[in-house]
Structure 1
Amino acid sequence: MSYAELHCLSNFSFQRGASSALELFERAKRQGYSALAITDECTLSGIVRAWQAAKAVELPLIIGSEMRIDNGPKLVLLVEDLSGYQHLCRLITLARRRAEKGCYRLLREDFEQPLPGLLALWVAEDSDTQADVQWLRRTFAERLWLAVHLHCGQDDARHLEQRLNLAASLHIPAVAF
């Protein structure tokens, strides 16, 4: 079975990611990944270097970005095609322009028009509300997945079961994250 990492922060995610794109792609290639998504927080600043690294090691790059909706859920948006890339650029620009330098503010209203070419991975948190879930389903419909990630801890089995049950109850497919 092939594995693609769908959420990876590079050193362009200040104080969160530490590795360069080349280091990430070399490691992913050694691990046998089929692709790697670079999803720095509300930026595409590292994408050129990521593209160069992907090309150097011959591993497909998936372009994306991690974003938190103001007073709402956390998402990882993945680009499917040129249209999706354009929509992601527009969202990042809107979010960055309405906040102080180094910050961003993404609003639900930013998603009112259709966003073809963008896929959404919902990083569910305990603070997410039923209204958040309804908004996600209405906004992304069949382009929404529930991201399930494990931390190699003693609660992983319970966490996995909870997330899979949540996905099933909401009729949202789950994806390893």
Structure 2
Amino acid sequence: PPAEMARLFRDTPEAIEETAALDAALTFSLDELRYEYPEEMRADFATPQDALVHLAREGAAARYPDGVPDNVRQSLDHELALIGKLNYAPYFLTVHHIVEYARSQNILCQGRGSAANSTVCYCLRITDVDPRDGRLLFERFISSDRGEPPDIDVDFEHERREEVIQHIYEHYGRDHTGIAATVVSYRGRSAIREVGKVFGLSEDTIGALSSSIWGMGGGRVRTDEFARAGIDLNSPRMQKMRALAIEIQSFPRHLSQHVGGFVITRSRLDEVVPIGNGAMDERTFVEWDKDDLDALGILKVDVLGLGMLTCLRKAFELTEKHYGLSFRSFRDEQQNGQEFFTLATIPKEDPAVY
């Protein structure tokens, strides 16, 4: 307390005065250490927003070759203005770059979730759903009133997603990129195994008990499951074990890698967040989960794997093999007058397709 400090330094009051003067002169704030997203500058453009506006309008012209409808133009202007106001243009450019890379390698990808409400995402070819078709509300994706950052989930072929992941590391640098963490919690089987070991149960007993509750997920451990495993719950020791197994469910167990949430920073990653090496080769991860990142305003780019996209790619390859119709990236689909199949050109309402 100030009074105590004054008493301790009563013989040297000038020390108190100098300390107070130093305190008044200090201007440091923890905000100076805040996270900054990469600038994502593009050649020939003064700002990321200028680049985004150009790419979006160029994409709109490609999406609507017969002319951009007035309502689409108005929607595009509205979204671009809000994105510029909230300074999210670099984030959109990052996702656009990743999607363009995947398509350049003929890797199927598809944005989903609330990003499908965005005309900008549609024009950037991040999504293939025309927001006009469902009269989707853009503000569910981004709103200045909610104060939440955009969250664009992009699915890639699960067999080739690692190519995209390694490209992100190479393009942005391993000292600027890492995968977010996720907290794995105790659930039925893992809770039984953990507590069973502590109580000295045999591996056979633990295995029988944990197998009997397979499929319960995060649900509570039921008394009848113990009886099926031949355990007498009337003994005080078993009652204590059962109570502890129930109690630790949903407790954090360990950190694991997020399914695909990437953190990209302007400064070195280890200056912003704690990082670790993943169990998989060539992987580094951030030791914070998505809730921690959201609380600190750190944006993540979701690079997810989807098996169905791999199935679709194989279907395209079979179509090419048996019918001579080629699969190419979106940008090539009208070259040389040839006909190509992409996710964007599959007939949406054809019963034979669905």
Give me the TM-score of the superposition, normalised by structure 1. Answer: 0.30
| Structure ranking higher on relative contact order (CA contacts 8 Å, 6+ apart) | 2
- Which protein is richer in helix relative to its size? 2
